[in-house]
Amino acid sequence: MSKIFKYLILLFTIFFINANLQATDGYSYKMKTIGKHDGEVLGVFVNWNNSMFASCSVDETIKLWKLPEGKEVCTLHGHLGEVNNISFSGNDKWLASASTDQTVKIWDVASCKEIETLEGHTDMVIGCYFSQDSASTFVASTSFDKTVKLWDVRLGTEIKTLHGHTASINNVAYSYDGKYLASCSDDKTIKIWSTDLTTKTPIMTLTGHNAPVLTVIFSFDSKKIASSDQNGEIIIWSMPEGKMIRRIKGHTELVQDVSFADDNIRLVSGSLDKTIKLWDTDTGNLLFSFDTGNEVWSVDLVADASIITFGCEDGTVRMLIRQQEKAPKKPVKGGKK
Amino acid sequence: MKKLLTFGICIAIAFCLQIQPSKAQLINTVVSITGRVIDEITRQPLGTTLEIFDQSGIRVNRAKSNIKDGYYFITGLKPGQTYIIRNLIDFNAETRYLNHRIEIAIPNTDKYSEFSHDIVLIPATKDLQIPLRVSPFAAGRSKLRSGAEKSLKHYLETLKENQRIKFEIVVFPDNNAQASENLTLTNQRAAALKEFFETNGIKSDRITTKGNNALDPLNPPPMGKASKGKKYKGTIYIVIKNS
């Protein structure tokens, strides 16, 4: 009897530890809720120097948070619709936000004040991405109006509109070498565009997804693209060839957000199946999985992957904080930077 | 005397500053606008003629959009100026389009630049259903949400520019839960939109309204979980009632 009792205690202990610290191959994280929006958190974005991250929500606001403590800095009001995505500029001075109110807004991070509103899309704006050079002159945005627009932030005006997708466009990413834009769409394709101001046709179209493609992102060396879709599949592509390297069927529900670590190998994904997963994109191996207990709408990483920030369906903004430090193979920086 | 001299110098400097043309004016900088003309419903490119006016109403340019890709190119515009672009109605065209007027403010710049702006035209077709791209209501609410006037501006401006057009506001519910409640809600939403248009200068005899108690058969809710921006909201149409 006492043996059975001891066995049950042991099982319970294992179960308890597993619920809090889920570890695979040395990746152990503990979850912390740091604050709350009044609705789904549709985007999180860690800045370049990992001192801050931003979250945006259907509650029409953006919040800035200090890292690593996760303390709220300020709330940005101004959009008149859901804020669907956000992006810090490469110099960390500004933040761009994309909204259902059909606009992109540029915010000054230091003062938490709106700088300008970019108008021109004719349907809700879903994605935005700041150029990651130190000047941070340009912002790209995507909309359900099936266009990608490039904006000059200094002039506050639209300088290029890209047509080619045949359905709503969900997201956009700038390559870190500044040469390319990638956009993904309900037409199940990813299109690669040149950032030069004269070329207006896509350089190539990546096909392989069997469902609407929800997000796309470049690795920091601009040699890989990761994309995720409505069926929960992630595909890794090589750049500039545009060849499919790997398919990862990692989630049972749609994957709304993915983000590369600075080693250009690890990729974090967040899904409405309530899990966050960390992948080795070279092997396709799952490094770590965490059941958050709530639908995950957005995810990003900070330096050395010691913190994963994410936003949930219940409005909470949360962090996964690494518990056991195993020395990584090489120093890493992380995030959609 | 010294004071008078200083005052005179000040006046002279102020005068010089006032008549000093901007750098852009000195070097006669011009900028261009380019973009596509597309159909509001099909999103297909359109070939049409555009006229460009300055703020005093003088036509400064005319351009044609390419029928194959809808591209237009307008040049010779001055930095810092605001222009009005109108489409010229082609009465011989297979599909006619409503009058459209847009105002474009050109940023100040010292070098030649090309700016982009797409122009969306609404077909002038009887019984055409024009869906509102962004719902002006929050889920379950019948009051226009804050900022709804921005998303309705495009439709309001077009209706103002086409005084002879009569139209119906048709509203479908967000779900199929309670038919009677749905009808009440959609009637209230239609009334709120009618009030918005009337308040903003559209005559009430041009507008009729219609609520519905069941989901829009042309736009049913998606199966499975919806991704970002696709949370289902009842469709709202502006239906043109005369050609």
* B227 and B153, same domain (yes or no): yes
For the segment B75-88, the average pLDDT, to the nearest whole number, is 94
Which residue bears the tokens 């502006």?
B238
Over residues B8-27, mean pLDDT: 55
- B113 lies in the same domain as B175: no
Tell me what pLDDT residue A13 has. 47
Least confident of A63-77, B25-39, B121-135, B160-174: B25-39
- pLDDT attached to residue A334: 47
Please judge whether A161 and B107 are an interchain contact, meaning their C-beta atoms are less than 8 angstroms apart. Answer: no
In this prediction, what percent of chain B has a pLDDT beyond 90?
67
Domains of chain B: total: 2
In a domain, B7, yes or no: no
State the smallest CA–CA distance between residue A3 and chain B in angstroms. 47
A16 pLDDT above the threshold of 50: no
Tell me the percentage of chain A whose pLDDT exceeds 90: 81
Which chain A residues are Cβ-neighbours of B151 within 8 angstroms?
Answer: 81, 101-102
Q: Could you list the beta-strand ranges (E) of A5-76.
A: 22-24, 27-36, 41-46, 52-57, 62-66, 71-76
Residues A125-151: what's their mean pLDDT? 94
* Contact criterion met (CB < 8 Å) for A100 and B229: yes
Mean pLDDT value of segment B74-84: 94
pLDDT value for B25: 53
Interface contacts (A, B; CB < 8 Å): 85
Query: Which of B121, B141, B176 is at the close of a domain?
Result: B121
Nearest-by-Cβ selection for A147 from B118, B145, B228: B118
CATH number of the domain enclosing B136: 3.30.1330.60
The CATH architecture annotation of domain A24-322 reads 7 Propeller (2.130)
Which of A25-29, A38-42, A173-177, A303-307 is predicted least confidently? A25-29
- Cross-sheet strand order for the sheet of A204-207: A169-174, A180-185, A189-194, A204-207
What per-residue confidence (pLDDT) applies to A197? 82
A327 pLDDT above the threshold of 60:
no
Give mean pLDDT, residues B191-216: 96
Mean pLDDT of chain A: 90
pLDDT tens sequence across A244-301: 999 999 899 999 999 999 999 999 999 999 999 999 999 999 999 999 999 999 999 9
In this prediction, residue A326 has a pLDDT band, given cuts at 50, 70 and 90, of low
Q: A149 to chain B: nearest residue by CA?
A: B116
Same domain, yes or no: B54 and B100: yes
Name chain B contacts of A199, Cβ cutoff 8 Å. Answer: none
Residue-wise pLDDT tens digits, A252-262: 999 999 999 99
Of B43, B69, B114, the CB nearest to A159: B114
Contact: A122, B151; criterion CB under 8 Å: no
Whether the per-residue pLDDT at B197 is higher than 90: the answer is yes
Residue B111 lies in a domain: yes
State the average pLDDT over residues B41-62.
93
Question: Who has greater pLDDT, B101 or B18?
Answer: B101
Residue B151's pLDDT band, with cuts at 50, 70 and 90, is: confident
Instruction: Quote the tokens at residue A182.
Output: 């990638």
CA torsion, ordered A294, A298, A301, A306, to nearest 10 deg:
-10
- What burial letters (b/e) apply to A42-74, b meaning 16+ CB within 10 Å? bbbbbbbebebbbbbbbbbbbbbbebeebeeee
Average predicted confidence (pLDDT) for chain B? 88
CB contact under 8 A, B150 and A101: yes
- Residue B19 belongs to a domain: no
Pair B90, B166 in one domain = no
Q: Which domain holds residue B41?
A: 28-121
Which of B121, B152, B176 is the last residue in one of the domains? B121
Compute the nearest-CA separation of A221 from chain B (Å): 28
pLDDT value of position A184: 98
Lowest mean pLDDT among B72-76, B137-141, B153-157: B137-141
User: Are B116 and A126 inside 8 Å of each other by CB?
Assistant: no
DSSP β-bridge partners for residue A105: A97, A117
DSSP string across A275-317: EEEEEETTT--EEEEEE-SS-EEEEEE-GGGSEEEEEETTSEE
Nearest chain A CA: its distance from B93 CA (Å): 25
Pair B48, B117 in one domain: yes
Tell whether B97 and B162 lie within a shared domain.
Answer: no
Q: Rounded mean pLDDT of A74-99?
A: 96
**Position A1 pLDDT exceeds 60:** no
Asked if B133 and B117 sit in the same domain, the reply is no
Interface residues of chain B, partner chain A, Cβ below 8 Å: 35-36, 43, 69, 107, 109, 113-118, 120, 133-134, 145-148, 150-151, 154, 224-225, 227-229, 231
Amino acid A182 reads A
The domain segmentation of chain A, as residue ranges, is: 24-322
Residue B223 has a pLDDT of 81
Partners of A27 in the β-ladder: A24
- The predicted pLDDT at position B23 comes to 54
Residues of B in contact with A193 (CB under 8 A): none
* CA gap B158, B243 in Å, rounded: 15
Q: How far is A225 from chain B (nearest CA, A)?
A: 21
Q: Among all residues of chain B, which has the CA nearest to that of A252?
A: B225
CB-CB: which of A81, A100, A272 is closest to B225? Answer: A272
Residues B236 and B204 placed together within one structural domain of the fold: yes
Predicted pLDDT of residue B224: 83
Nearest by Cα to A234 from A220, A245, A223: A245
| Domain-ending residue, one of B121, B137, B168 | B121
For residue B4, pLDDT beyond 90: no
Question: Chain B residue closest to A271 (CA)?
Answer: B227
CB contact under 8 A, B227 and A256: yes
Strands A103-108, A94-99: pairing kind = antiparallel
Best of B36, B68, B227, B230 to substitute, by most chain A Cβ atoms within 10 angstroms, is B227
DSSP letters along B99-143, please?
--EEEEEPPP-SS--EEE--EEE-B--TT-EEE-SS-SB-TT--S
Domain annotation covers residue B14: no
CB-CB neighbors (< 8 A) of A253 in chain B: 225
Instruction: Show the tokens assigned to A100.
Output: 């259902």
Give the range among A215-219, B10-14, B97-101, B147-151 with minimum mean pLDDT. B10-14
Tell whether B53 and B137 lie within a shared domain.
Answer: no
> What is residue A9's predicted lDDT score, i.e. its pLDDT?
60
B27 band by pLDDT with thresholds 50, 70 and 90:
low
Give the pLDDT band of residue A23 (cuts 50, 70, 90): very low
Report if residue B20 sits inside a domain: no
Beta partners for residue B123, in sequence order: B97
**What distance in Å separates residue A9's CA from the closest CA in chain B?**
39
d(CA A239, CA A234): 16
Residue B203, pLDDT score: 96
Closest CA to A216 of A172, A168, A272, A247: A172
Do B153 and B104 share a domain, yes or no?
A: no
pLDDT for A64 beyond 60: yes
Task: Give pTM, 2 decimals.
Answer: 0.85
- Say whether both B223 and B135 belong to one domain: yes
Q: Is residue B68 part of a domain?
A: yes
Beta-carbon separation of A101 and B120 below 8 A: no
> B145 contacts in A (CB within 8 Å)?
80
Q: Which of B116, B152, B153 would best serve as a mutation to test chain A binding (most A beta carbons within 10 A)?
A: B116
Query: Which has the closest alpha carbon to B134: B148, B122, B146?
Result: B148
Tell me: do B193 and B106 sit in the same domain. no
Q: How confident is the model at residue A228 (pLDDT cuts 50, 70, 90)?
A: very high
CB contact under 8 A, B134 and A102: yes
How is chain B split among helix, strand and coil, in percent rounded to 5? Answer: 25, 30, 45
